[in-house]
Homo-oligomer: A and B are copies of this chain.
Amino acid sequence: MANFEYKGKKIYYETHGEGAPLILLNGIMMSTLSWQAFIAPLSAGNRLILLDFLDQGQSDKHSEDAYGVALQVEVLKALYDHLGLERAAIAGISYGGNVALKFASEYPALVHRLIVCNALAKTGAWLTELGKGWVMSAQDPAQFYYTTIPIIYSQEFYNARPDWVKARREFLTGQVFTNREWMDAIERLTASMDSYDAQGQLDKITAKTLLVASECDSITPAYEMCKLRDYIKGADLVLLPGTGHATMYERPALFASLIIGFANAELEGLVI
């Protein structure tokens, strides 16, 4: 419900509640609106900060085609500056997890705790080529749906929740994927992942880090999350059996409680 400016672009953000700051970073097709159901639990004890990246939600569209994840890192840094934040817990999922990894590597002192869900250290050929298929299907809402959405979920969840899936399909194909401006932005966001590579800088992270991997995540497989554990000193890792890439939708209560616990626990003196 507020904006700030970054290099001439309007950036939209929201804050909810009081307490230690907790920033939540969106996946690629998400926006601040996607977190509606999570606002109450995540702002109960924290000052929850939601952010639309450039080309997301109510933030401005990017005028040029080519940018990288590094640009969104700077957008996040500008949010810190705008709010005068000295330090915050950051939780990011998918695209937002990648931004979080890069931000915590470049600005380690600004991150109190880091919670990274369903992300990876760097983009490989597989992910780039999957993205090509996404972009090529973007002209037709139904086709874009079938190309991009089922793979985001575990088969177990998708098959068990036909009503939820149907409502979501109708919403996405009826109101979202028909929006040409939105689709163009998604193409640019997708392309911004092509050059993503945080691997070599992850050893700069000083924040206590929780990695949340999902066993049935086809986009950022548990295998890649295990690599992150090796790169980030002292990182903790949990694996969610039977869960796909969209952890927040498949395990909402668990997702919220993992963030709340890890962002807020006073762990500094906890030495065994």
Contacts and interface: CB of A to CB of B under 8 A. Distances in A.
A241 B252 contact: no
Given A136-B137, A136-B140, A155-B124, A256 B265 contact: yes
Interface string A103-147: 000000000000000000000111101101100110010110111
A264 interface: yes
A39 to B, nearest CB: 10
A206 to B, nearest CB: 14
Contacts of A224: 155
Interface in A233-272: 236-242, 248-249, 251-254, 256-262, 264-267, 269-272
Contacts of A37: 269-272
Contact of A126 (B45, B153, B261): B153
A107 B77 CA distance: 50
Contacts of A145: 133
A212 to B, nearest CB: 9
Nearest to A43: B266
B165 A125 contact: yes
Q: How large is the interface on A (under 10, 10 to 19, 20 to 34, 35 or more residues)?
A: 35 or more
A210 interface: yes
B155 A133 contact: no
Most buried by B among A158, A240, A241: A241
A207 B271 CA distance: 31
A162 interface: yes
A124 B248 CA distance: 22
A260 B254 contact: no
Contact of A158 (B126, B162, B242, B264): B126
A223 interface: yes
B270 A261 contact: no
Contacts of A149: 129
A229 B124 CA distance: 22
A65 interface: no
A85 interface: no
A126 B264 CA distance: 34
Contacts of A78: none
B210 A236 contact: no
Interface of A: 37-38, 40-41, 44-45, 124-127, 129-130, 132-133, 136-137, 140, 142-143, 145-147, 149-151, 153-156, 158-159, 162, 164-165, 208, 210, 215-216, 218, 221, 223-224, 226, 229, 236-242, 248-249, 251-254, 256-262, 264-267, 269-272
20 contacts: A40-B270, A45-B45, A125-B162, A126-B150, A126-B155, A127-B155, A129-B149, A130-B151, A132-B146, A136-B143, A137-B147, A151-B218, A154-B223, A155-B223, A210-B254, A215-B223, A229-B241, A237-B240, A256-B267, A257-B265
